[in-house]
Structure 1
């Protein structure tokens, strides 16, 4: 019994040990599962990181490979370009500038433009101040880069994004400028800039820094036909470049950025200001002391320039167009232009003899097809070569009313329509007439001839200021046009050549006119490189609008403000005077020649007594007497052949007062005899508040007189600039005009504000 008990006891112990072992195994398995789970999670996390790492490595490898391939390609390109570049001595003997012979319309030579080279200076002969001044202002890291300055290029890119304009120089290094001057043109394209960079590095590969700087200083253009520092020194200071002082070197170095703008013969103050910048940079970069930087460049003695023909204003405008008209060439060429030598002399004399003291004058004269017959951009080309005929933007005064009245004629008015000149206020603006009085009842022709401001304001308000702006753009105004009410009196600045172009389109019976100055270009041997083709004619307005406008323009000269422009044959034109007599204009035409004259001060200060009907009109007459002397007298076509929609139905003449018969009003309602509203004021336009205080029906915008389809049929083609809104939706059937038309906006009151007087 005891032995059996022992066995049972031992068996129980073995069971206990087995159970304990199973529990331990269970715990061990659970631990292993947990460990495996942790390992799986860790592996997943590591796998995500490895994916990013793999892509980063791939991108780095691809980027490095692309950079390596690019570097290899660039090296081959630079090496190939370096092998193709002529030797230093060949470049030294080559003149890359072009000789241009300019001919008048009759073939006579009027000016020859071309390079002027002084004595070639070797590197050791060039004054150190000249080298340092050029490096300081054009390329301060010239001695350390390899043709392209990475810092400068990066700055240019940043500037392109930020719009910053604080840099003094351009983005091109001296090596890039040399490459461009010798091998390329000045087109601002990515392709040209890339070629310029490759060639610059090729120059650095092939030549030393000293050779590059020697080539550059002997070949760079300094304006006035001067190439190289010796030619520039002789032109501006009357001595060789070996004798250049610090101040003179600073003036010459400052010219490279913009030879015309900083030329000391054109604008002494601009040249001095630019030279001061160069001296400051030289001091900052350690080339000169503070005492040398304070040199008085005003004391520099400039060479006196002989008088130059005013035809240079024309060549300055026309010749830059050759870059667009011709393929790239450095061969000598002959340019045949539209300039008439006799008319150019007459224009110059007319401006010189009539421009008030202390003022400037400009003149543009166009033939009926847009050919420029004469162009004067100022009273003295040597004193200032700024072209006021093509570049200056000034307020045109009442000459702008051309577009106001064109819009009114297109909207259904005629020169004989009766209007009432009365004080008016539009959106808080109260224009007044130059004499401070109002005419009362008058017709459109008289209001235009005497430049009545209040009538022009009312017309602009009725047809819409946006419509007037659209008309101006249609006739060739390229500058921004305001749509504020005062725009009807010429508050938007314009160019003289654009205003002359607009009037020329009226002279051409409504056909668009594009000014041009070059008819053909040939090589010196006679090979034709370019010949102007006649453009397709585009009608801008219907014939009846042109006839009505010509009628009013002729009246302005016959009896109105432009009487001083009379020349003994039919003349049509318009005066313009801005506030405080800052600008005076006269633009007109006769016998197919259209001429515009502007006078005023460059600083826009008032000129006592300057009015469009005085000095500008007299200059116009003095020139035009000569210009038309060999042309037949031409009478203007002022007969109005109105379209059907503008004609009063004949049968209406057979009836009496509208109150005596049935009629249909504009809303389609049948009105019985005698039921017409007796309180209606025939002088109030639709939507006005009647005098008795009752509210009139709300008005729609005044519809245009003709639909776009009609205008296109009348003019024979699609109207340019229709997007501006001058020809809109078809109007309602027009009613016969009232005996007198008053265009009186709401809140009309006696004017207590002033506006530019109209002349």
Structure 2
């Protein structure tokens, strides 16, 4: 057989094999199609698509959906809308170059296909494979994009894609090409809340679409492909490069001459500043939580731990893009957003922060108070946020920073129960474990250079001794301690935080008041974590459920360790040495912890009752020394003031007691030493009582006068409440019992958020020099030479 015949024979054989493989694939698909129920699913998708298009009319594409957010009482918090109808242009009103540019860059075969370009879909699929999963070119036609924007969500599933194709085919049958292009250019998203070409022209260039020049038209028409990636306000150079590509396409398509092309490419783009606006703290938090809920609906997977910086950057890119899409859909979807925010409690928290910081009057050149405070209150029954304040009251145009969830600061010693002591209680330590408070090389110091020697672990916590926290954290290992923050979805924790300095609050990027509140609420909730959103549910305008908070729980700490930690933290208020002893809530049992960072730059108080958990932060936006700032001073008094208000008419309820533990760890102490330590403790306490009582009384008289007055009022109120509300107590205790039973069988880990994402974290601030005196002086200040940003009490 000749060589030529052999080649032909071989070629025919290969062709036959390919055909057989294709036939096999087709047969396999057909079998799967009918055998798996896929045929029924696709049939239903087509029926839904046919119905949606059949019921549509021109008004469908001009519709303006107004959303509403409600507080816990059903009263309106905010109205969410975009002025889409105001800017609607007919086909003839849309500049010819706009129509040419969008077709040239988005869908060259727009006039030829019947709604779907199947070859483009295949090309896009192969491009994704070639680029390791990265989308480099689109496969959707203008008609498909219109179908997705008007009738579907952005969730990427094969069902949505199939329904999108069916809708696109139906649209082409019902409407003309001119209609479809008109609908598309009035609804497509151009970023920054601008839907439609006229809104984009007004928003970016402050002019009507008809007055745009060629370069500006190409610039705008390049944005819909990836509004976040080409956001002109954040990535102008990328947006200009995209414009140049649009111009090149137009030139190659013959709709733009050489001279006009060169002139447009050379033109410098100048973007107008966005309109200034103000949103209050409730609104900013609602929008953030609701946007993340829509991201969850779309199937976005939130992530908090990364193997390296490259992985984190890749995630952040995806996060910002998805956040932008969902945030814009929030304003145009006509949603009804039902929240857990309580307007009365919100006002009480705002008033407490305002009153607590009224002595600090210095402002920046923009009129913003230099010394700021923020706080978050969580309902312990539900785990939901009921109040959130991101700063002192100031209604300033263009000012939307909510420090309660958008700012991150060093937590000082308020981090100790989260990463040191509760984990330690899970690993063999008890409240009665004897620890050694002493100076050692390479470690931190306590205030004034004083040390207490052999004491119980509970006292070390209540005194907030830095040396003890450091030693225990070293034994646990920083990796183990920090792992608890990952479990509670802290968003800015990094690998470098796995150091001993973190035991005192020296974390690299800081934490937010929201994160601290949810962590302390976890301890109160027997160690079970709940995502602290303020969204109860989201529905469409006609009541169809979009998202619902199922309040899933994840076990972070054991129940026994959590209850023992709560019992220890009660001593912060009740013992003569507790750093929060001046901050009691009358007869209402409470537990909490102070926190102060190096040089008095940040002050924290985080605490809870059976009813509520509240975290308070005080400091300057740009960290500077704030005279008199300690966890027990301004933050503590704001916490106390607010908690007294929010607990009015509430019956006192104590926490669940931990199982009595008598065993003690003596890893570093011999049996004889342990016995001697016990005797030393007794002798020490007896000797201290004579002086401590007098000293404490003197301190209390000078520092707690206002607190005692408030306490007396609270006691009277509480006593009356106790007499008149025994029924309420019984109901609450029953609820508590039910909650406890439910909390014992948790562990379903939900992916929700926290990423700090979309807001500025700092505003420019200068140092404030004031002469206000702190009311609590028992917090210890660490000497952390050689450590990284280590915090103290």
Secondary structure at the counterpart of residue 156 of structure 2: coil
Match of residue 219, structure 1, among 187, 191, 195: 187
CA offset digits 1:213-240 (Å, max 9, x no partner):
3211212345787643345556777765
Secondary structure at the counterpart of residue 454 of structure 1: helix
- 2:231 corresponds to 1:270: no
* Alpha-carbon distance in structure 2 between the residues aligned to 1:262 and 1:721: 38
TM-aligned CA deviation for residue 720 of structure 1: 4.5
Match of residue 338, structure 2, among 331, 336, 339: 336
TM-aligned CA deviation for residue 399 of structure 1: 2.8
**Residues 1:641 and 1:93: Cα distance change in structure 2 (over 3 Å):** closer
* Alpha-carbon distance in structure 2 between the residues aligned to 1:376 and 1:133: 46
Aligned twin of 1:631 = 650
- 2:563 corresponds to 1:546: yes
- 2:112 corresponds to 1:112: no
* Alpha-carbon distance in structure 1 between the residues aligned to 2:215 and 2:625: 40
Residues 570, 589 of structure 2: 8 Å contact kept: no
Task: Note the 1:192-203 alignment, pairs <5 A.
Answer: 192-197=160-165, 199-200=167-168
- 2:660 corresponds to 1:642: yes
Match of residue 439, structure 1, among 446, 451, 459: 451
Residues 317, 390 of structure 1: 8 Å contact kept: no
TM-aligned CA deviation for residue 462 of structure 1: 2.2
Residues 474, 721 of structure 1: 8 Å contact kept: no
- 2:472 corresponds to 1:508: no
TM-aligned CA deviation for residue 454 of structure 1: 3.0
Secondary structure at the counterpart of residue 303 of structure 1: coil
Aligned twin of 2:106 = 139
Secondary structure at the counterpart of residue 180 of structure 1: helix
CA offset digits 1:51-92 (Å, max 9, x no partner):
85554122333467689999999xx99999998784899245
Secondary structure at the counterpart of residue 516 of structure 2: helix
- 2:427 corresponds to 1:411: yes
**Structure 2 runs not aligned, ≥5 long:** 34-41, 300-328, 361-367, 678-739, 750-783
Secondary structure at the counterpart of residue 79 of structure 2: strand
* Alpha-carbon distance in structure 1 between the residues aligned to 2:488 and 2:650: 26
Aligned twin of 2:18 = 60
- 2:336 corresponds to 1:364: no
Aligned twin of 2:293 = 321
**Structure 1 runs not aligned, ≥5 long:** 1-41, 649-656, 660-677, 684-712, 723-749
TM-aligned CA deviation for residue 121 of structure 1: 0.8
Residues 326, 529 of structure 1: 8 Å contact kept: no
Task: Note the 1:164-313 alignment, pairs <5 A.
Answer: 172-197=140-165, 199-200=167-168, 210-221=178-189, 227-231=195-199, 241-243=209-211, 256=224, 269-270=233-234, 275-285=239-249, 286=251, 300=272, 302-305=274-277, 310-313=282-285
TM-aligned CA deviation for residue 502 of structure 1: 2.0
**Residues 1:600 and 1:85: Cα distance change in structure 2 (over 3 Å):** same
Aligned twin of 1:589 = 608
Task: Note the 1:660-699 alignment, pairs <5 A.
Answer: none
Secondary structure at the counterpart of residue 419 of structure 1: strand
Aligned twin of 2:93 = 125
* Alpha-carbon distance in structure 2 between the residues aligned to 1:282 and 1:102: 40
Residues 399, 575 of structure 1: 8 Å contact kept: yes
TM-score of the superposition, structure 2-length normalised?
Answer: 0.61
TM-aligned CA deviation for residue 104 of structure 1: 1.3
* Alpha-carbon distance in structure 1 between the residues aligned to 2:541 and 2:48: 31
TM-score of the superposition, structure 1-length normalised?
Answer: 0.63
**Residues 1:720 and 1:342: Cα distance change in structure 2 (over 3 Å):** same
Aligned twin of 1:652 = none
Secondary structure at the counterpart of residue 215 of structure 1: helix
Residues 414, 548 of structure 1: 8 Å contact kept: no
Secondary structure at the counterpart of residue 305 of structure 1: coil
CA offset digits 1:606-657 (Å, max 9, x no partner):
44439672665565456545433453455556x6642466699xxxxxxxx9
CA offset digits 1:317-348 (Å, max 9, x no partner):
13552676799999966443211112334445
- 2:593 corresponds to 1:574: yes
* Alpha-carbon distance in structure 1 between the residues aligned to 2:583 and 2:124: 56
* Alpha-carbon distance in structure 1 between the residues aligned to 2:123 and 2:238: 25
TM-aligned CA deviation for residue 188 of structure 1: 1.6
TM-aligned CA deviation for residue 248 of structure 1: 7.2
* Alpha-carbon distance in structure 1 between the residues aligned to 2:125 and 2:282: 39
Aligned twin of 1:488 = 503
TM-aligned CA deviation for residue 405 of structure 1: 0.3
Aligned twin of 2:790 = 756
**Which of structures 1 and 2 has the larger relative contact order (alpha carbons within 8 angstroms, sep 6+)?**
2
Aligned twin of 1:737 = none
**Residues 1:127 and 1:583: Cα distance change in structure 2 (over 3 Å):** farther
TM-aligned CA deviation for residue 504 of structure 1: 0.8
Residues 585, 616 of structure 1: 8 Å contact kept: yes
TM-aligned CA deviation for residue 406 of structure 1: 0.4
Aligned twin of 2:706 = none
Aligned CA-pair RMSD: 5.7
Aligned residues: 620
CA offset digits 1:567-586 (Å, max 9, x no partner):
66655333445678886654
- 2:368 corresponds to 1:400: no
* Alpha-carbon distance in structure 2 between the residues aligned to 1:250 and 1:382: 32
Match of residue 420, structure 1, among 428, 436, 458: 436
Residues 314, 375 of structure 1: 8 Å contact kept: no
Secondary structure at the counterpart of residue 270 of structure 1: coil
Match of residue 555, structure 1, among 551, 572, 575: 572
**Residues 1:644 and 1:542: Cα distance change in structure 2 (over 3 Å):** farther
- 2:70 corresponds to 1:103: yes
TM-aligned CA deviation for residue 185 of structure 1: 1.3
Aligned twin of 1:7 = none
TM-aligned CA deviation for residue 157 of structure 1: 5.1
Aligned twin of 1:374 = 387
Aligned twin of 1:454 = 467
Aligned twin of 1:733 = none
* Alpha-carbon distance in structure 2 between the residues aligned to 1:577 and 1:616: 10
* Alpha-carbon distance in structure 1 between the residues aligned to 2:659 and 2:612: 25
Residues 554, 747 of structure 2: 8 Å contact kept: no
Task: Note the 1:597-616 alignment, pairs <5 A.
Answer: 597=616, 606-609=623-626, 613=631
